[in-house]
Homo-oligomer: A and B are copies of this chain.
């Protein structure tokens, strides 16, 4: 009856997860597995079930060690070294729906912005990534105005003052998905400052997601621009 430390650790799927393989039917988009806090062993059990069923799936917050381990079970796995995002199968579908633009305030916001950009593409959208358009140099934003006005949804990733979504939303007709990042220091409080700024955007038409949640932003953008 005891659970000693030498007990076997080979875990069965039922003991660790209940995959929502039906999600595409119900919600229109496949399951995503949050890899942080899961062991390599647990991820491999989950991956084996995915390999067995052939499901499309995303893995978020997946570092290189875990990605390498997963690929041993799921060989056709795409992975981005910067976004820590993996997807299966590795090929993106042919895009449908309206165009998504992901705008990124600074170079340091790129990992999160790429997570949004790759998610939107994996979920079936044509998506552009525009970098380093922070409000400190407004001409950089204004230089992309045509591209921004042609989008069906715009994801705006920004840390620090989080001012970019307000500025962009004031210039376009489509919804802006504000994606706060933990870029910054001191009173940025790990993304709290841009999060609060975005929730209080003085332009209407701004939808906020969690700090550093590139996956959620890309998912919303794909939903909004679905054909």
Contacts and interface: CB of A to CB of B under 8 A. Distances in A.
A160 to B, nearest CB: 4
A120 to B, nearest CB: 12
Contacts of A172: 27
Interface string A207-225: 1111111011001100110
A208 B208 contact: yes
A203 B107 CA distance: 15
Identical chains bound together, number: 8
A4 interface: yes
B161 A202 contact: yes
Query: Among A38, A170, A172, A215, which residue has the most Cβ atoms of chain B within 10 A?
Result: A170
Nearest to A222: B205
A203 B170 contact: no
Contacts of A80: 3, 5
Contacts of A78: 2-5
A105 B207 contact: no
A187 B20 CA distance: 25
A162 B197 CA distance: 7
User: Closest 5 CB pairs between A and B?
Assistant: A186-B211, A207-B207, A37-B108, A163-B163, A193-B196
Given A160-B200, A161-B163, A199-B210, 20 more contacts: A16-B131, A18-B131, A18-B137, A20-B136, A22-B139, A26-B173, A34-B108, A36-B108, A136-B203, A161-B162, A182-B186, A185-B213, A186-B190, A186-B191, A186-B212, A187-B196, A196-B197, A205-B219, A206-B216, A208-B208
16 contacts: A3-B90, A4-B90, A38-B108, A135-B163, A135-B166, A135-B203, A160-B201, A175-B223, A177-B207, A186-B212, A187-B199, A189-B196, A194-B197, A205-B216, A205-B220, A207-B207
Interface of A: 1-5, 9, 14-20, 22-23, 26-29, 32, 34, 36-38, 42, 46, 61, 64, 67, 78-81, 90-92, 105-110, 118, 131-140, 159-163, 166-167, 169-175, 177, 180, 182-213, 215-216, 219-220, 223-224
